[in-house]
Amino acid sequence: MAQPGDGRSIGVFDSGVGGLTVLAELRRRLPQEPTVYLGDNARTPYGPRPADEVRRFTLESVDWLLSQDVKLLVLACNTATARALDDVRGRSDVPVVGVVRPGAVAAAAATRSRHVGVIATVGTVDSGAYPAAIVEADPATDVVQLACPELVPMAEAGILDGRRAESVLRAYLEPMLAADPAMDTLLLGCTHYPLLRGPIERIVGDRVAVVDSAFTTALAVEDLLDALGARAPRAPRDEASMHRVATTGDVNAFMTVAERLFGERLPQVEAIEIGVVAPLPVD
């Protein structure tokens, strides 16, 4: 269990690069906390995969993070949170924070019309996790979901702006906005999607608030560390030695996207192997 003055790392897991948006917020808000990040890029995207496969991949990745002696786990992947949060909590001997509830609370707080749109992966949409969590936060809220299967591969490929990104996003967002003119809040229900925030905000316009779970997840982690008395000591640290980043996929491809968020502050990326690379299901 986490101990007072606990200097161990916070473990952060995602199916790929998307969880770096959560990691960046954690590092901004909790600069004294060491972190270890794992992206399962070799098996991304998780969204189209069967629920059992998502659970297996998530547990394999979590086992690696737990072997790094972390004090707390953050599932910075919406699909993994929606499909495997209870399984991870049953497996873990340290606290586990998922990204669905913090994002849902943020959306419920942001909307004035009580019309919220959620864009997410197929797996997250099929789970129904976001509508349930948003309605739990505010039972009067009307929630519309849309699966956007092209967005994670696009983000993983580093296509974050420009004509291609805008064309794909417009094909998803414009019909959604037209179908519910009262929608005033759009929740990015995948941690890859904030990497596309610029074109998303241009398409939805000023009247629609765009929210994601990165900030509220960092707040939840901060509150939990305080409740446990498990903040890291505030002694001066060498930032380069405080943080580790690992991927099961191609290191250079990972770094291309990661450097947009961290620049020179990005630690050396480690290549690790977990499980077996499995083909995506065929529709």
In whole angstroms, give the CA distance from residue 52 to residue 215: 29
Least confident window among 87-96, 165-174, 214-223, 239-248: 239-248
User: Cα(269)–Cα(24) distance, rounded to whole angstroms?
Assistant: 15
Which residues are known to be catalytic?
A: 77, 190
**10-98+215-271: which CATH number, 3.40.1440.60, 3.40.50.300, 3.40.50.1860, 3.40.50.740?**
3.40.50.1860
Mean pLDDT, the chain, rounded, equals 92
C-alpha span between 15 and 10 (Å, rounded):
17
Give the pLDDT band (50/70/90) at residue 100.
Answer: very high
* pLDDT tens profile 122-131: 999 999 999 9
Residue 145: Cβ within 10 Å count: 18
User: What is the pLDDT, as a whole number, of residue 219?
Assistant: 94
Specify the residue for token string 């696009």: 154
Taking 90 as the threshold, does the pLDDT of residue 113 lie above it?
yes
pLDDT of 1 strictly over 70: no
Q: Look up tokens 């640290």; give the residue.
A: 237
Q: Residue 134 forms beta bridges with which residues?
A: none
Residue 36 neighbours by CB distance under 10 Å: 23
Domain with CATH 3.40.50.1860 in the chain: 10-98+215-271, 101-213
Confidence check: pLDDT of 4 > 80: no
Average pLDDT value for residue range 71-100? 96
Q: What is the pLDDT of residues 7-16, one digit of tens each?
A: 999 999 999 9
Where residue 66 falls (left for φ over 0; alpha for ψ -120 to 50; beta otherwise) is alpha
Helices (H), the chain: 20-29, 51-66, 78-91, 100-110, 122-127, 129-137, 151-156, 162-179, 197-204, 214-228, 239-242, 251-262
Q: According to the model, what pLDDT value does residue 94 have?
A: 97
Residue-wise DSSP of 229-281: T-PPP-S---HHHHEEEEESS-HHHHHHHHHHHHGGGPPPEEE---S---PPP
Q: Which segment of 87-96, 98-107, 131-140, 226-235 scores lowest on mean pLDDT?
A: 226-235
The listed CATH number (3.50.50.60, 3.20.20.80, 3.40.50.1860, 3.40.50.2300) that belongs to domain 101-213 = 3.40.50.1860
In this structure, which amino acid lies at residue 280? L
Average pLDDT over residues 104-112: 96
Say if residue 237's pLDDT is above 70: no
Predicted local confidence at residue 34, as pLDDT: 95
Confidence of residue 262 (pLDDT cuts 50, 70, 90): confident
Query: Dihedral through CA 148, CA 154, CA 155, CA 161, nearest 10?
Result: -100
Residue type, 73: L
Q: Which residues pair with 13 in a beta bridge?
A: 38, 75
Using one digit for the tens of pLDDT, what is the confidence trace for 31-66? Answer: 999 999 999 999 999 999 999 999 999 999 999 999
Give the integer Cα–Cα distance in Å for 261 and 194.
11
| pLDDT band, very low/low/confident/very high, at 279 (cuts 50, 70, 90) | low
pLDDT at 15: 95
What is the rounded CA–CA span in Å between residue 76 and residue 261?
16
Determine how many CB atoms are found less than 10 A away from the CB of residue 2.
18
